Amino acid sequence: MEVLLRASVPSLNITTATTNNKTHLTKPRFSNFQLSEGRIDQWGRLQCVYHGWCFDGSGQCKIIPQAPQDGPPVHSNKKACVASYPTVVHHDILWFWPNSDPQYKDILTKEKPPFIPELDDPSFTKLMGNREIPYGYEVLIENLMDPAHVPYAHHGIMQMRQPKEKVDREGGKPLNMTVEKLDKDGFIGKQEGGRAKFMPPSMFYVYFDQGTETKNSSTKQRRLALIFICVPVSPGNSRLIWVFPRNFGLWIDKVVPRWYFHIGQNLILDSDLYLLHLEERKIKEVGNWQKACYVPTKSDAFVVAFRRWLNKYAGGQVDWRGKFTRDLPPTPPREQLLDRYWSHVVNCSSCSVAYKCLNVLEVVLQVVSVVSIGIVAATKQSLMSTAARTAIVSVAVLCFVASRFLAQFVNKYFRYHDYDHAFK
């Protein structure tokens, strides 16, 4: 990320993903080639994939392959260097200050990323995920701060406690949400069953205490937290990093693979993604959030607080520093908006491995099916009993059916899964 909110509050900004994904923090001063398209070579240097120039972590060019080794050290010329940003790994996320000016060289000694106790506590499980989102930072944060939409936008996916008296099938109800403090450092809020914090510009943190449990004569508080980090990428595009730490049921994450959890989490994101993409364009069309949105209930308290913070302390919008116009990109086809592969799978170590393995398994099942039929066809009836022939044909049919099921499973959960609200 190379943009800052136009805010008077000093704040770190975050990189594109968690530390188990490829992230590069240098930017060439001498060309338009993006080093983010590069690779890490065998000596740990960042290599440009166009000419092979290599750079160390401080941005110094270490080698220009086209320059003779016994010639002048042209690689040490400052024109061959690239910008280097102050960085720190915190809570397994790579954070950086998006300004390479020398005055910010030691900024990390003064400014720290937000600290979340649950992410620093080994008694909590904390599986992360990330997703590219086709709507902007402001809409993304508002969506995550708004529990009132859950029974409707995520109907049939997320289970919520039903009210005693239901006014509709989904179980919507009044939500008593209050903001206790709001200043340049964000806000602190209270909602049913939990508390929340907005730590600007990117982090929204909610935690719920779910009673106590006794084990080995000791009592501990059961806690579940929802942590969302929202990164502005460009107008109409953002990036979400999420982690849901809890200190109970730790065995589940040791048994169930991470990619399986991501299937459900991506479905939740998909079920209101198209709605929010269109909402952002409607707000843009009206020209003013206050005019476009009517927020009369207490369930809107956090969203209103965020907009107050944004207007008062951050200039009302993301400051793109001239890198982008404020125009939103055209709306692509629905299948592209809801694409999971390029928005998540390709950047997730767990899901990308699962995707490759399931595709290999699909091919293996098809091969077994074809080979089995081939064996039956090529073998004379006199050389194979009816029982053996039936068994081989059954294996062929089962493998073919399994391969078709697997193909649909991979496409639905790793490529594209639509959500039709009218039939839910």
Q: Is residue 1 predicted with pLDDT exceeding 70? A: no
* Topology of domain 4-109, CATH: Rieske Iron-sulfur Protein (2.102.10)
pLDDT at 165 over 80: no
56 within 8 A of 35, measured Cβ to Cβ? no
Residue percentage of the chain with pLDDT more than 90: 62
pLDDT at 419: 84
pLDDT digits (tens, 9 = 90+) for 229-253: 999 999 999 999 999 999 998 999 9
Confidence of residue 321 (pLDDT cuts 50, 70, 90): confident
pLDDT at 4: 36
* pLDDT band with cut points at 50, 70 and 90 for residue 323: confident
- Residues 117-347, CATH architecture: Alpha-Beta Complex (3.90)
Mean pLDDT value of segment 402-421: 93
Question: Has residue 211 got a pLDDT over 90?
Answer: no
Comparing 10 with 191, which gets the higher pLDDT?
191
pLDDT exceeds 80 at position 329: yes
pLDDT attached to residue 272: 93
Check residues 385 and 30 and name the one with the higher pLDDT: 385
Question: How high is the pLDDT of residue 32?
Answer: 54
Mean pLDDT of 181-192: 93
- For the chain, the structural domain boundaries read 4-109, 117-347, 353-423
pLDDT at 30 over 70: no
Mean pLDDT of 135-153: 94
pLDDT tier at 402, thresholds 50, 70, 90:
very high
Residue-averaged pLDDT of the chain: 87
Is a pLDDT exceeding 50 seen at residue 260? yes
Instruction: State percent of the chain over pLDDT 70.
Output: 91
Give the per-residue pLDDT at 33.
Answer: 67
What mean pLDDT do residues 171-191 have? Answer: 92
Which has the higher per-residue pLDDT, 69 or 259?
259
pLDDT digits over 280-318, tens only? 999 999 988 999 999 999 999 999 999 999 999 999 999
